[in-house]
Amino acid sequence: MKTSAFLYPWDVVGDPDAAARVADLGVQQVTLAAAYHSTRALTPRHPGRRIVTAEHAAVLYPPDAARWAGRELRPYEQSWVASDDPYAEAAQALTDAGLEVHTWVVLAHNSRLGAEHPDTSVVNAYGDRYPWAPCIARPAVGEYLVALAAEAAVRGGARGTELESCGWYGFAHLHAHDKIAGVGLGDAAQYLMSLCFCPDCRSGYAEHGLDADELAATVRRALKPAWSGSGSSEAGWAGIEKLLGADLAAATLQWRGRVARTLQESAVAAVRAAAEPGFQVLLHADPAPYRCGANVGVDPEHILSVADGVVLPCTGGDAAREAVLGPFAGREGVLAANFTVVTGMGGSPTTLERDAADAASRGANQLRLYHAGLASDPDLRTVAGALSRLGR
């Protein structure tokens, strides 16, 4: 199977050995960040540094001034990599090493945007804003994300793109120094905490026969036992229906699903309009439509009619892989199984060979490895060995 490793430009810029080291893993492709959220990252093999602090979401190339002229919402430029165009510099080195390069574009995840433009953020049922989560129902946000997708995805030499967070973001987010684990919330409660009540979402709920104030009150009542007890462990769509009621739950998902599908269709269309024929467009996704986050909830049939395929989170046991790959079984398109191969981040490089074979048996036809720049030397050696055996 075609295999790609995720990488940041700062893993390559300033390290003349980085590209060859990645190629030696046995991968054919690199998925290279072109637009990324704030992070603090190790560069364990870089000759000049060990830590990169990306202070805010930014594009890792010079944005086109003409494209963004007159727009209130525009991408932020990076300042932490000593290069005029970190993406292009890294992409050229990787291409010279014989690797195919695709862009990695993070969309609806931007804390600085929410801090500087509070009205762009998701607002929960308690009135709290989530500055890291742009509300994709807001027209200005949608227009910004579509324009960003087209620009960041189609960089010089790129053969395709992977769009992350191309949908709803919400409560579950590793925000700086997160302190949210005091009360355990299952994914059903997290869905309720992710419902947005900004003016556009309020209008959207009304289109589906819901009174936004009554919905917010219902959410607060449903969550009240969680705050006074040990949390809420309800999971899956059945858990959401238990907390909200089946009719209310369905109406919220109808609104949110419509908004997400519109963004996904518009973003993919904008990328294809800007790219040469044959440019591959994948989405990081989850087949449970209510899911929020980096791997956005999608309808499998719909998303494969829009994009060329999906990248699915496959770290974990056989049951976890079946949950994300099963709904896509027998469908045409790229099904890329994404495995964390950094032991310190919960990955298991020692089981990659077995896990990849299991994913293939469930329909996966490509592999993604997260993350070649963050992994330790022993993890990378293990990965190289596994890929060598898989390629025989």
What's residue 92's pLDDT? 98
Contact (CB, 8 A) for 195 and 315 = no
Question: Among 125, 93, 106, which residue's Cα sits nearest to residue 192?
Answer: 125
Q: Which parts of the chain have pLDDT scores under 70?
A: 174-175, 177, 392
Domains of the chain, earliest start first: 2-179+260-390 (3.20.20.80)
Q: What type of residue sits at position 120? A: T
Number of other residues whose CB lies within 10 A of the CB of residue 115: 14
Contact (CB, 8 A) for 57 and 76 = yes
51-54 and 39-42: which strand pairing? antiparallel
| Token couple for 358 | 């299991």
Whole-angstrom distance, CA of residue 283 vs CA of residue 362: 19
What's residue 229's pLDDT? 84
pLDDT tens-digit readout, 131-188: 999 999 999 999 999 999 999 999 999 999 999 999 999 998 766 767 777 788 899 9
Phi and psi at residue 334, to the nearest 5°: -75, 125
Torsion angle of the four alpha carbons 345, 182, 229, 243, in this order, in degrees rounded to the nearest 10: -50
Contact (CB, 8 A) for 198 and 187 = no
Whole-angstrom distance, CA of residue 45 vs CA of residue 50: 8
What's residue 117's pLDDT? 98
What's residue 341's pLDDT? 97
Contact (CB, 8 A) for 331 and 201 = no
Q: Cα–chain-centroid distance for residue 215? A: 28
Contact (CB, 8 A) for 1 and 357 = no
| CB contact set of 351 (below 8 Å; sequence gap of 6+) | none
What's residue 128's pLDDT? 97
What's residue 69's pLDDT? 97
DSSP state of 24: T
DSSP state of 13: T
CA angle 46, 51, 52 (to 5 degrees): 100
What's residue 2's pLDDT? 97
Q: Distance of CA 157 to CAs 89, 130, 146, 234, Å?
A: 11, 36, 21, 46
What's residue 175's pLDDT? 67
Assessment of whether the complete model's pTM goes beyond 0.85: yes
